[in-house]
Amino acid sequence: MQNIFGLSNNLDRREFISLTGSTILSLSLLSFTDWDNTVYASNRSQVGLIKTSERAEGVKRSLNLIPLIDVKGDSVLVKPNFNTADPAPGSTHNDTLITIIEELKNAGAERIIIGERSGPPDTEEVMREKGIFEIAEEYDVEIINFDQLSDDQLVHFNQERLHWPDGFQIPQILNEVDHIIATGCLKTHQYGGQFTMALKLAVGIIPREGTNYMRQLHNSDDMRKMIAEISLAYQPDLYIIDGVEAFTTGGPSSGTRVDSNVFLVSRDPVAVDAVGVAMLKNLGSTDIIMNTPVFKLEQIARAAEIELGISGPEEIDIISDTEEGVSLAEELKNLLA
């Protein structure tokens, strides 16, 4: 698989994020500076922030801030958040999913796949309840239920120093498609994850049926480190976080619902989750979110340590397309720092 510049996947992920970030233009750019007020020049990542209550508009403006990769004639897998069929932010809103599909089609994508695994509810039942099969038929989109894959459709992933006892399996299709778009929600996670956005979204690529991976994950004291490590096994081209509504406590399926009216978009899962956590702080959230520095939270700390993206708040540029967005970005910048 090649990236948007036609370069091979031998390119280091941090180098790729830095390269892509340097190509993006926006109306406004907010930069962290060091003590002598010079802007950090390397290993930076951009996070687009869009203020809106309309999901279709949010997706389109997100893709104006952080442009869609060149997908003409290519295959694209869309990885949503279908943990359950609960209303957004319990799961990806259908309007968000449909608009992403429409934008991919407008950009010339030849093959579009929705790939996901739910849990604890059955994946097929979740998709049926949400009307995903009807969406797929209307838009000529494929569906791959990761829980229904045979052994020869899975590949084993392992590396030294993982907290997974013997690695884990992922769908082979993730290595076969040209591009991956991941779209999550803005919310806390009351069952050990602490929050669930871009990094936590990757749990859904690990099959559940016939494996003990979820038992390993949920019984481990290193759960949040293990969550981060899953993203070593797949690299979405873009992360789109629908924060029109957020759970500031509870989650992932239900919780304290707040109208947060934002979309976040980035090529860097560490950066987008860091800004998402800052947004939860801004809204008022759980004790662990409110009282822990963003880059001390285990998901983010481990993700930064294994170089899934940037390593600290000083490497994030928050960009927006409205004065309201710029104002909010300044608030989040302070909460990040």
Distance separating alpha carbons of residues 325 and 323, to the nearest angstrom:
5
Task: Give the model's pLDDT for residue 332.
Answer: 98
Could you tell me how many residues make up the chain? 337
Residue 6 confidence (pLDDT) above 80: no
Beta pairing class for 255-266 and 75-79: unpaired
Lowest mean pLDDT segment, chosen from 9-18, 80-89, 269-278, 285-294: 9-18
Q: What number is the average pLDDT over the span 187-199?
A: 96
pLDDT, one tens digit per residue, over 211-251 is: 789 999 999 999 999 999 999 999 999 999 999 999 999 99
Confidence of residue 69 (pLDDT cuts 50, 70, 90): confident
Distance separating alpha carbons of residues 128 and 125, to the nearest angstrom:
5
pLDDT, one tens digit per residue, over 77-134 is: 999 999 999 999 999 999 999 999 999 999 999 999 999 999 999 999 999 999 999 9
pLDDT, one tens digit per residue, over 131-164 is: 999 999 999 999 999 999 999 999 999 999 999 9
Q: Scanning the structure block, which residue is given the tokens 């290993």?
A: 43
In which element (H, E) is residue 269 found?
Answer: helix 269-283
Confidence of residue 2 (pLDDT cuts 50, 70, 90): very low
Q: What number is the average pLDDT over the span 187-196?
A: 96
Cα 55 → chain centroid: 16
Q: Half-sphere exposure of 320 toward its Cβ, with a 13 Å CA cutoff? A: 21
Q: Are residues 264 and 48 in contact, defined by beta-carbon separation less than 8 angstroms?
A: yes
Q: Are residues 227 and 202 in contact, defined by beta-carbon separation less than 8 angstroms?
A: yes
Distance separating alpha carbons of residues 169 and 213, to the nearest angstrom:
9
Q: Are residues 202 and 180 in contact, defined by beta-carbon separation less than 8 angstroms?
A: no
Cβ neighbors of 320 (< 8 A, separation 6 or more) are 26, 27, 28, 30, 48, 49, 50, 51, 65, 326, 328, 329
Q: Rg (Cα) of the chain, in Å, rounded? A: 18
Residue 19 confidence (pLDDT) above 50: no
pLDDT, one tens digit per residue, over 286-324 is: 999 999 999 999 999 999 999 999 999 999 999 999 999
Task: Give the model's pLDDT for residue 36.
Answer: 30
Please indicate whether residue 39 or residue 178 has the higher confidence score (pLDDT).
178
119: which 2 tokens?
């849990």
Distance separating alpha carbons of residues 116 and 146, to the nearest angstrom:
6
Count CB neighbours of 157 within 10 A.
Answer: 20
Q: Is the bond preceding 89 in cis, omega lying within 30 degrees of 0?
A: yes
Backbone angles phi, psi at 257, to 5 degrees: -90, 130
Residue 8 confidence (pLDDT) above 70: no
Superfamily of domain covering 13-336: LarA, N-terminal domain (3.40.50.11440)
178: which 2 tokens?
């040209």
- DSSP 8-state assignment for residue 206: S
Per domain, the residue ranges of the chain are 13-336
CA angle 106, 73, 80 (to 5 degrees): 65
Task: Give the model's pLDDT for residue 20.
Answer: 41
Task: Give the model's pLDDT for residue 211.
Answer: 79
pLDDT, one tens digit per residue, over 27-68 is: 344 433 332 332 333 489 999 999 999 999 999 999 999 998
